[in-house]
Amino acid sequence: MTTMVPTVAPAGRPGAPLRTRDLKHHELAFRLVVVLVVLGSLGLAWWSIVSKLAPLQNQSRELTSAVGSLSAEVDALEHKWSRTEAEQIREKYLEAKRLLFADQAALDAWLASLQAMAASLDLKVKTVFGKPGPQSGANLAVLPATVSIELRPAARGAESGYRRLLKLSQCLIAGERRADLAELTVTAQEGRISMAEFVFNLWAAEEGAP
């Protein structure tokens, strides 16, 4: 008599559907992460365009417009004067520059001229220079010079002290260099001028000015 032995199915097969379900969950999670990364990249790109690139483009357009306006102004200035007028302006500029005390040699020459004129008018002078003061908006400086004058008694028939002082001041003002008379103080004793003090402003170019 033959005995029938039942067949037993291999273990482990029922677990296969569970692994498939896990794989689907991992795939969905991966796709979700990819979507989030893409959205984040797009947001970052949009933020860069709005907050960084757009202002820079506006600034670039403004600078380009400003440069164009300045170029137009320069062109207008270049065509404002003819060649003759430009040459006249250049000559006036050079003439004005020649009137300035350019260096120590020019100052020494002015001082020597003062001494010579004072001696010819029988005047004793002493000169003290102050501290130069720059002029705003220009490469110029003003050097104050205080000239103290002692008048010797005039000989009979000689010019009065007043006329001698007037001649001295006129000669200094009309010299080659610009010297403005800023102040004049006169001291008189017994009906005649005995002392006087001039304050001149000597115009000079600042060091390093063109």
Domain boundaries, the chain: 20-80, 101-205
What are the tens digits of pLDDT across the range 26-48? 777 777 777 787 777 777 767 76
Lowest-pLDDT range, 2-16, 98-112, 148-162? 2-16
Distance of CA 15 to the CA centre of its chain: 85
Instruction: Mention every residue, 6+ apart, whose C-beta is less than 8 A from residue 192.
Output: 151, 153, 160, 161
Q: What is the CB neighbour count within 10 angstroms for residue 95?
A: 9
Lowest-pLDDT range, 73-77, 148-152, 162-166? 73-77
**pTM confidence score:** 0.52
* Rounded Cα distance, 185 and 44, in Å: 80
Structurally, what CATH architecture does the domain formed by 101-205 represent?
2-Layer Sandwich (3.30)
Assign 60 a pLDDT band (cuts: 50, 70, 90). Answer: low
* DSSP state, residue 147: E
What are the tens digits of pLDDT across the range 109-123? 889 988 998 888 888
User: Looking at residue 146, what is its pLDDT?
Assistant: 93
Closest alpha carbon to 148 in 131, 170, 165: 165
